[in-house]
Amino acid sequence: MLILFLVALFGFILMNVPIAFALVLTSIVLSFFFGSFSPALLAQNIVRGIDNFPIMAIPFFLLAGEIMNYGGISKRIVAFAQTILGHIRGGLGYVTVLASMLFAGVSGSAVADTSAMGSLLYPVMEKEGYNREKSAALFCAAGTIGPIIPPSIPMILFGVIANVSIIDLFLGGIIPGILIGFGLMFGWWVHTKKAHYKADGRLDIRNILRATKDAFWAILLPFIILGGIIFGIYTPTEAAVIAVVYAFIISMFVYKELKLSMIPELLVKSARMTAVVMLVCGAATAAAYLITIAQIPQLLSNALISFAGDSPILLMLLINILLLLVGCVMDLTPALLILGPMLMPIILKFGLNPVYFGVVMICNLCIGLITPPVGNILYVGCSISGLSISQLSKAIIPNILIMIITLLIITYIPGLIMFIPNLVN
């Protein structure tokens, strides 16, 4: 059954069938194998995967991200980061990472973060004579921080499918996201030692205060989202709605850069992204139903336990290797929705914390966003920079290695993930 599932799924993917339809077709193959194909049951499972209150947060966070791009919020976050780090040699690289970390606190989408930061900063880096391949690789890698630092769309999905506290997942992602950001900055520092970029100006307290004042309402948004969730004022779904309303008011009436004529376009873009995510959620739920009937989770569990024995350390190493390989050929969302329910029973059997595992799994699959041939962020980076996929793939290898090292650190020092959730709880 496991072989049939893998052959069917990856066979459809290799035929360039979109992942959502590949999952539906795989479900049909499995149901025919059981001799119990039912279009009604398939449709019910697809609808069940979408009809979930916490998942309603996804379209609102996507919409909030688009409003911030159109309304000048992302631009002010970049300007704020530039006043702090722009004076350092190769400072635009550090600005890219810091701005991505700040924007991650208000978006939750890797593609949205990469598009926003890359579109704003890459042309400036190119104009200043920065290495094109390294610059594009940096803003692509920094974009993966979006789903790790809260709010996070993948964490909402994992919380739903694994019945884990979304709030704890949000809190658990803070330190890993910061560690990845510092790791990417260190990698950029090593690059600047060889590249000999010039410093841009000097540290000016007045400029920092001016930029802070201008970006104050933008920087305040992450604290509004997380603060309200932590103190129980609203749920993550309600926080997403508040993010949309807040971003709209600030963009329209404070910064006055969002025009009524822009609203139809940003609504259409948000609707398209939402439709993709929701269709994948529904298709993955249908596939998960048949996977459970086929007892594939038990087969995978037995295989992993036979290799790992009683060692959680070896188990997490095997799971990380599995997820890294899967991330190379499957996007984050379907991989999370398929493998999450399959791996959770194993995690619980070994007595590991599901919040810890959820954050590790998401950090791992985020690496897949920048690995060829499927990495979505790579294609966004190619579109913005004009580089070929081979050029960008080669340049991003050092950043992938940095993220893998960070992944191993948080895997084997669980306190880095659980410190803030335990502190708040």
Mean confidence (pLDDT) of the chain: 88
pLDDT of res. 253: 92
Q: Which two three-digit tokens encode residue 124?
A: 């400036």
pLDDT above 70: residue 201: no
Residues 6+ apart with CB under 8 A from 166: 54, 155, 156, 159, 160, 236
CA proximity to 1, closest of 205, 227, 236, 298: 298
Q: Using the 8-state DSSP alphabet, how is residue 250 labeled?
A: I
pLDDT number for residue 138: 94
The full DSSP string for 26-49 is: HHHHHHHHHT---HHHHHHHHHHH
Averaged pLDDT for residues 116-142: 89
- Which two structure tokens, joined as six digits, stand for 423? 């502190």
Percent of the chain with pLDDT over 70: 99
pLDDT band, residue 407 (cuts 50/70/90): very high
Range 396-412 average pLDDT? 96
pLDDT confidence of residue 200: 67
- CA dist., res. 266 & res. 281, Å (int): 23
The rounded distance, in Å, linking the Cα atoms of 117 and 83 is 16
Residue 383 to residues 38, 140, 327: CA-CA distances in angstroms? 42, 11, 21
Q: What is the reported pTM? A: 0.87
* Angstrom distance (rounded) from CA 126 to CA 385: 9
Mean pLDDT of 8-35: 85
DSSP 384-417: HH---HHHHHHHTHHHHHHHHHHHHHHHH-THHH
